Chains A and B, each alone.
Chain A
Amino acid sequence: MTTVTVGVEWINDFHSDACSQNQLVYMNTHAEGFRNSMVANGHTAVFDWGDDNAWETDFRNPASGGGGDALNWSDNVNFCYFADHGGNWSNIMHIAFSKSHNECLGSSDTWKLGVKDLKWLVLDVCDGTLDTTASAVVDVWGGPMQGIHIIFTFVNITSPWSSSEGSDFGSDAGSGKALSNAWLDRTYSSSIANSPIAIAAGATQDEAINRRENETIDWRDYSVTSTSWLAWKWRY
């Protein structure tokens, strides 16, 4: 099986300052559970940044200024898992950081996901999309997806119901199961009626669908040459 590199970031503790948000509980468990499961399957952990060590610049592309350092971090690994608060407005995804380095909010209009090594990104946050219409998906993700294969996130609000979601998904992903189906299976709950979603890119409709349905980590080197099409899958 192909070996992939993994990086995780998570935030539980925010401070009473300009970056203040509500405290979270399970985010380290989700992100590090994912990392541990991947490592248990033979993959390589590269970074694990939590709380104040998780920085907005780790996702910002250098072309967007502001100290963007994504090419050394999120886009320097194949699989990145980010667990935290999220919000989505003005067709821009935002993720919250506890320390302003260099902003309190990361904004998807400063991201170029996949220009280097990043193939798969988990945004274990709320509001990865606001709904499942084409405008909600394409207008937010069509721009930032620049070579990345699949984004895994949630439609609207979700609730961390179990501490094992990250490790469960990591077990499936790391052992070569189809990635989108694994995400939907491991994170959906009938009790909370959340809505996980996987968004795959492709140069053609068939390629995007093929990735959505069948891609595993063995597809690491099958590059997305353009994000002309998106194919998404969600349970609700």
Chain B
Amino acid sequence: MSTIPITLKMPELPGSPPPIFTLRTPRVNESALLNLAHTFKLKGREEAGSISRDASTFTYAEGAFDLTFHRASGAFRFKDRNRWQIDHRANVELSDEDAVKLARTYLSRYQLLPEDWKVLRVSRLHVATAGPDRKMQDHRVIDVAVCLQPVVHGLPVDGPGGKVTVYLDHEGRMTCLDHISRRIGPVYRKVTRLHSPEHAVDEARRTWAERGVREVDVREVRLCYFEMGWNDVQRYLQPAYIVFATLVGVDQRIKMGDIYVTHAAVNHAGRIVPLAPTRRVAQKPRRAQGGDDRPTPPNHAG
């Protein structure tokens, strides 16, 4: 692959390298779940609701509310089943600024506002229809979601995790709260030096070249602390680069977004992203069309 032209502005490096932190092991059990329910003014007793469990979560349900706690990360979602994502035929007219103010108020009330934070994004859930005349009708916004990212040592936390999101309906009421922001412990290791963002792009370029990618448009490079997803165990919070790119196909019309994540610290600690899924064993060549090698589906009324 030829060299990637870099025209975008690269992130500036902080004056002193941000350290690597230990993350506290989340205390996720039924007692912690009920305690958390009290935060949201629920009764939080087994007699008042019910607890269900699966391999990765505990959920406490009371009335219309579900509180789901993720074992691996300690992340949780508190939602109102009757209102979150539900179209009540109203339109949310909150500006971004007003939505952020409201979200901040809710998070302060529940003592969940990060000490230092920035707005990552304000998104909206839209609906629309069109009939035989092919004109858009009934276009409305049925919720607005304010996503905040904690800022640690001057760096925002990013990744599948590292965010607190508040969903608001047309009356400005909170319909759901997602909290995927792990508790930070003591410094695990001082960082001696950060790689440059160009180093991260170069690593990405090599990876893409190994995949046979011919043309790439790098859209953005972020320097952040990287946090994994809801169901990932993570021990350290460490600086990372995230490279956002568009892979362009041979005839230019087929494109795909791609994300490359790499350590920013020269003396990093362990893996920064979960192990990649195992590549599957190649399938045996398919014999023929027309259902010749198709397993027999069960009878069903479809």
Residue of A nearest to B216 (CB): A22
Q: Is the CB of A46 within 8 A of B295?
A: yes
Q: Is the CB of A22 within 8 A of B129?
A: no
- Render A41-61 as a binary contact track against B, CB cut-off 8 A, 1 for contact: 000101101111101010000
Measured between beta carbons, the chain A residues less than 8 angstroms from B85 are: 178, 181, 184-185
Measured between beta carbons, the chain A residues less than 8 angstroms from B249 are: 21-22, 85, 87, 96
- Given A134-B130, A159-B259, does the pair A191, B214 have CB atoms closer than 8 Å? no
Q: Is the CB of A22 within 8 A of B256?
A: yes
C-alpha spacing A47/B283, complex, angstroms: 12
- Render B65-100 as a binary contact track against A, CB cut-off 8 A, 1 for contact: 000000000000000000001110000000000000
Q: How far is the CB of B75 from chain A (nearest CB, A)?
A: 14
- Which residues A133-186 have CB closer than 8 A to chain B? 133-135, 137-139, 142, 157-164, 178, 181, 184-185
C-alpha spacing A29/B257, complex, angstroms: 17
Q: Is there a chain A Cβ closer than 8 Å to B41's Cβ? A: no
C-alpha spacing A191/B156, complex, angstroms: 11
C-alpha spacing A32/B282, complex, angstroms: 14
Q: Is the CB of A157 within 8 A of B160?
A: no
Q: Which of B87, B279, B291 touches A213 (beta carbons < 8 Å)?
A: B87
Q: Is there a chain B Cβ closer than 8 Å to A113's Cβ? A: no
- Given A51-B282, A213-B87, does the pair A137, B254 have CB atoms closer than 8 Å? no
Q: Is the CB of B123 within 8 A of A132?
A: no
Segment of B6-14, B32-40, B131-139, B185-193 in the binding face: B131-139
Q: Which of B121, B137, B280, B298 touches A32 (beta carbons < 8 Å)?
A: B280
Measured between beta carbons, the chain A residues less than 8 angstroms from B277 are: 26, 28-29, 163
- Secondary structure call for the A interface: loop
Residue of A nearest to B291 (CB): A72
Q: How far is the CB of A45 from chain B (nearest CB, A)?
A: 8
Q: Is the CB of A57 within 8 A of B289?
A: yes
Interface size on A, residues (CB 8 A): 88
Q: Is the CB of B127 within 8 A of A233?
A: yes
- Which residues B227-279 have CB closer than 8 A to chain A? 229, 231, 242, 244, 246-250, 253-259, 274, 276-277, 279
Q: Is the CB of B129 within 8 A of A21?
A: no
Measured between beta carbons, the chain A residues less than 8 angstroms from B26 are: none
Q: How far is the CB of B137 from chain A (nearest CB, A)?
A: 7
Q: Is the CB of A191 within 8 A of B159?
A: yes
Q: Is the CB of B128 within 8 A of A213?
A: no
Mark A residues whose CB is within 8 Å of B.
Answer: 3-5, 12, 14, 16, 20-26, 28-29, 32, 44, 46-47, 49-53, 55, 57, 67, 69, 72-73, 76-78, 85-87, 89, 94, 96, 101, 116-117, 119, 126-127, 132-135, 137-139, 142, 157-164, 178, 181, 184-185, 188-194, 205, 208-209, 212-213, 220-221, 228-236
Please, could you name 14 A-B residue pairs with CB atoms under 8 Å apart, sorted by A? A4-B300, A23-B213, A49-B286, A69-B289, A85-B255, A126-B255, A137-B128, A138-B130, A139-B134, A159-B244, A160-B259, A193-B123, A208-B129, A235-B125
Mark B residues whose CB is within 8 Å of A.
Answer: 85-87, 120-121, 123-132, 134-138, 145, 147, 158-160, 163, 165, 211-214, 229, 231, 242, 244, 246-250, 253-259, 274, 276-277, 279-280, 282-283, 285-286, 289-291, 294-295, 297-298, 300-302
Contacts A159-B259, A184-B125, A233-B125 given; 8 further ones with Cβ under 8 A?
A: A22-B214, A22-B256, A51-B283, A94-B254, A134-B128, A193-B123, A208-B129, A232-B129
Query: Closest 9 A-B residue pairs measured CB to CB?
Result: A159-B257, A117-B302, A190-B147, A134-B136, A23-B211, A72-B291, A134-B130, A53-B286, A87-B254
